[in-house]
Structure 1
Amino acid sequence: MRPIVTLLTDFGTADGYVAEMKGVLLTHAPDATLVDVSHEVPAHDVESARLAVARYWRRFPRGTVHLAVVDPGVGSARAALAVESDGRFLVGPDNGVLSPALLAAGAQVVALPLPPRAAPTFHGRDLFAPAAARLATGTPLDALGDPIDDPVVRRTPEARRLADGGIEGSVIAIDRFGNAITNLVTLGGGAIEVEGRALPLQRVYADVAPGSPLALVGSNGLVEIAVRDGNAAARLGLVRGARVVLRPAPRA
């Protein structure tokens, strides 16, 4: 099977930065299949990139190389990483963007040396893309750099149980539809309290009338707040960090 390299960046597609990275990848790994996950991560938003990586990195076949470059600290003293985790490889800056793979059992990580002629403002092209290409063509992880035992790891904040039995959480992301994704998990019914509203948990968006707000469990297993055929973030004034409370359904 041809090697697969995925790309996630905040570069957009207007300026040619992504094309430069692809040129390096295909020069050193000409048989690679390049998959654009997204280049529309909000600029410098490491947390959004981390959450995106968490969604897809294990969905690809073993041996896939994931290149994730959202790197507001480019050129600073932050390390550059290559990771082998659960049969996949990830390459990117040491700022927490690779946390989903770092948290998996058995993950191995090395610090990548900076090539002498690397542009200090474009490690995506001059450092990360060449490393990803080497992994895609079979170079072992330990040949790329020295092991590191203290990479930066970001975690989703944990919800907490309140004295009255509710579970307090927060909005951790807003997707492109305006759905507010929370850190709440539930296997039963109940309601979500947010911005003075109580939204009963539904199964799908179509369970309510167009334009109506609702809460449901999304495809990633987390509770999200939505507006059918609309934008919940705009309608309800929701932003990352907004407080939400799960009121579990009473037990029969």
Structure 2
Amino acid sequence: MKRLRGLQGFLWLTYALVILNLPAFGQNGILVFQSDFGLKDGAVSAMKGVAIGIDPNLRIHDVTHEIPAYNIWEASYRLMQTAPYWPKGTVFVSVVDPGVGTVRKSVVLLTNSGHYFVTPDNGTLTLVAEQLGIKEIREIDEVANRRKDSGQSYTFHGRDVYAFTAARLASKTISFEKVGPRLTGKVVAIPYQKAVFGEGKVVGTIPILDVQYGNVWTNIDKETFKKLMVKTGARIRVKIFNSNEKVYEGEVTLVNTFGDVPEGENVGYFNSLLQFSVAINMGNFAEKYHVQSGSNWKIELSK
């Protein structure tokens, strides 16, 4: 009878985890790092060393460590750009933390997609929270989840708190519930212009640059863009603003790919995320026209 009850309990647990998709112990042993540290010193290596010290079997990878210093918005974008392509249960660590040592919260976000994000709650979670949805947020208990004998260090939470907690979570040394107390279902969010159509124009944000080539990416998706009713090969009027200051005004040709126009011509196209972008064929649009990116950069499209 006891054996039967034990089997019944196991079946009910399996039902809860698989059928109901509860989050307990959904981690997959993959740990992905992001920071604004660069690779000139040993900071990134130190974080990875802490993680390996928790479990040498962890599979450790990187998003990037070339986020511009203190650029929380770009950290948010890079997570949004890459996280959906990683398996459910992956744990991300993002350390762009100009407020390190202050009262900003250290948190772990579990998204509806089953991904975990370990980071300061300073705006870094803005876009993944929107894109992947918030299932649960927990504040890191730094008494239980902090590297041993690191209490006197106030300026390297990436090593002492985030890498340590993330490695324990990714390796299933702790469950998500052991991270710390549950928080309300909101994160600190950076305000920005959503892609919208109205009065014969589409307005959006320039969240990021394709930094290698100087192409200007926007958050204007195909469905919103289609409301302009512009066909491939047609010209589009483009205005770009930094806050309220106009930086660029001109026309681009809507193309499927760069080779559709001669070298040096300004083009509009849809990037790998299927969002509208502008570029110069075999040139650098951002450099030529002094365009940058961020939540304060806006773009307006019209016929």
Same fold, TM exceeding 0.5? yes
Q: Report which of the two has the higher share of helix.
A: 2
Return the alpha-carbon distance in structure 1 between the equivalents of residues 205 and 121 of structure 2: 25
Superposed CA RMSD in Å reads 2.0
The offset of 1:197, in angstroms, is 1.0
* Aligned residue number for residue 147 of structure 1: 182
Query: Which residue of the partner structure matches residue 69 of structure 1?
Result: 95
CA–CA separation in structure 1 for the residues paired with 2:198 and 2:114: 40
Match of 1:158 in 2: 194
Shift of 1:226: 1.0
| Unmatched 5+ stretches in structure 1 | none
One-letter amino acid of the counterpart of residue 119, structure 1:
S
Q: CA deviation at 1:155?
A: 5.2
- Compared CA separation, residues 192 and 141, structure 1 to 2 (3 A): farther
CA distance in 2, matches of 1:132, 1:219: 29
Q: Map 1:102-117 onto structure 2 (within 5 A).
A: 102-103=129-130, 104-114=132-142, 115=146, 117=151
Q: 1:224 to 1:243 in 2, by over 3 A?
A: same
Q: 1:2 Cα deviation (Å)?
A: 6.7
Amino acid at match of 1:113: D
> Separation in 2 of the partners of 1:179 and 1:192?
17
Give 1:230 deviation, angstroms. 1.8
What stretches of structure 2 of length at least 5 have no aligned partner? 1-26, 231-235, 240-247
Partner of 2:207, secondary structure, is: strand
Aligned residue number for residue 121 of structure 1:
155
Contact 1:111 1:145 (C-alpha < 8 Å) held by counterparts: yes
1:136 CA displacement: 0.9
Shift of the 3–10 alpha-carbon distance from structure 1 to 2, 3 Å rule, reads same
Q: Secondary structure at the match of 2:221?
A: coil
Q: Hey, what's the Cα distance between the residues in 1 that align with 2:86 and 2:180?
A: 25
Instruction: Please give the alpha-carbon distance, in whole angstroms, between the structure 2 residues aligned to 1:24 and 1:118.
Output: 17
TM-score, structure 1 normalization: 0.90
Checking the alignment, whether the CA contact within 8 Å between 2:192 and 2:205 is kept in structure 1 is: no
Are residues 156 and 214 of structure 1, via their aligned partners in 2, closer, same or farther at CA, if it must alter by over 3 Å?
same
Moved over 6 A (4+): none
In the other structure, the counterpart of 1:56 is 82
CA distance in 2: counterparts of 1:156 and 1:135, whole angstroms: 32
1:202 corresponds to: 255
Counterpart CA distance in 1 for 2:126 and 2:183 is: 14
1:118 to 1:107, Cα distance in 2 relative to 1, 3 A: farther
Instruction: Kindly provide the amino acid, as one letter, of the partner of residue 47 in structure 1.
Output: W
- Contact 1:156–1:183 (CA<8 Å) still a contact in 2? no
Count residues in correspondence: 247
Name the residue aligned to 2:264: 211
Q: Deviations over 1:113-156 (max 9, x none)?
A: 23461621100000000110111111211111001114212354
The partner residue of 1:99 within 126, 134, 144 is: 126
Normalising by structure 2, what TM-score?
A: 0.76
Matched, 1:131 2:159: no
Partner Cα distance (2:209, 2:44) in 1:
24
Q: What is the deviation of 1:243? A: 4.1
Match of 2:22 in 1: none
Cα distance in 1 for partners of 2:278, 2:297 equals 11
Instruction: Say which is worse superposed, 165-174 or 81-90, in terms of deviation.
Output: 165-174
Q: Which residue of 2 aligns with 1:236?
A: 289
Provide closer, same or farther for how the CA distance between residues 2 and 222 of structure 1 changes in structure 2, counting only shifts above 3 A.
closer
